[in-house]
Amino acid sequence: MKYQAPAWLPGGHAQTIWPAFFARSSEAPALQFRRERWLTPDADFIDVDWLDPVLPTSQASTAQSSPKPPLLVLFHGLEGSSQSHSSQAFASVARARGWALALPHFRGCSGELNLAPRAYHSGDFEEIGWILARCKASYGGPMIAAGVSLGGNALLRWAEESGAAAAATVQAVCAICSPVDLAAAGHAIGRGFNRLVYTRMFLRSMVPKALHKLAQHPGLFDGERLRAAKNLYEFDNLFTAPLHGFRSTEDYWQRASAKPHLRDIRIPALVLNAANDPFVPAHCLPTAADAGPHVTLWQPAQGGHVGFPQGRPPGHLFAMPEQVCQWLAQSLP
């Protein structure tokens, strides 16, 4: 990836925080998503936001007989949604290319609490597989997929578990700023400035949702201990791990991490991580020896965590999605 951060926004923290709040992430006209609610096999639901392709006038008249444009399925990050800055930027780039976009919300992330005694997690490849299969069946055209942070790790885990069979569903996948070594990332976000800023931000959202889940399903976990959780390690130990079949945080982080299984991927896969990402330390990033022949590694020196701002203040966020989409397009028919 060719990326140089603007001089006015130096450092990984600035390149993470500023884009999330101030940089331009969508182009006019405003994005208008169409929401669908899908019932899951376990009697729960997820909400999927669709952005239909905008065809040029010359193509619109022949749209019935023309092949469908590609569909980009985008999986958001921890506590994200279709309104996240990265989601908006990818949606804008997809629309500019004439692609359709589907953004499935992980359970509980669409603005309404899900029903089942579970939420979502970084290694939820079964859920990813079910969503992708349904997108493929309902859309019917060529499909590619990308995931941001947590969503990217889960997407890679699906590709790893699926092996060669993944090619029947998608042409290529990409993980953006994903914590492919969950233990390294989990410990990093629990220290110093990361703990004071990012951990507190995530827990402000995650703890109340978990407590609402406890009200739905009394006795599901120890609410008092969860209220006292000071970091993601403790939260995962009390909530994420036991609700999703893991013995502990260590077991969850080990089994859900994508890095140890990258060589099992059999479709084109791009793994993009900035070396100055505050959440994902550079020392834990995969090397060519980890990756295998189907995986491409992009590890620019700058960019922060899902930031990659560009241009004059306040900056914009289209440079990274444009390069990712260009890479994904190479695998389309």
User: Domain 1-56+68-181+257-333: what homologous superfamily?
Assistant: Alpha/Beta hydrolase fold, catalytic domain (3.40.50.1820)
Task: State CA 138 to chain mean position distance.
Answer: 21
CA distance linking residue 194 with residue 278, whole number of Å? 7
Neighbours of 93 (CB within 10 A): 24
Which residues in the chain are classed under CATH 3.40.50.1820? 1-56+68-181+257-333
**Residue 115 near residue 140, CB atoms below 8 Å:** no
Whole-angstrom Cα distance, residue 153 to residue 160? 10
Task: Give pLDDT, residue 194.
Answer: 97
Residues of the chain falling short of pLDDT 50: none
Find out whether 46 and 104 touch, Cβ atoms under 8 Å: yes
Which residue do the tokens 């005694």 mark?
117
Considering only CA atoms, which of 174, 315, 187, 170 is closest in space to residue 250? 187
What integer pLDDT is reported at residue 66 of this predicted model? 76
Cis ω for the linkage preceding 69 (within 30 of 0) = no
Q: What is the mean pLDDT of the chain?
A: 96
pLDDT computed for residue 56 by the predictor: 59
Q: What angle do CA 31, 21, 280 make, to 5 degrees?
A: 105
Pairing state of beta strands 295-298 and 269-272? parallel
Tokens of 280: 């994902």
Rounded Cα–Cα distance for residues 50 and 171 (Å): 20
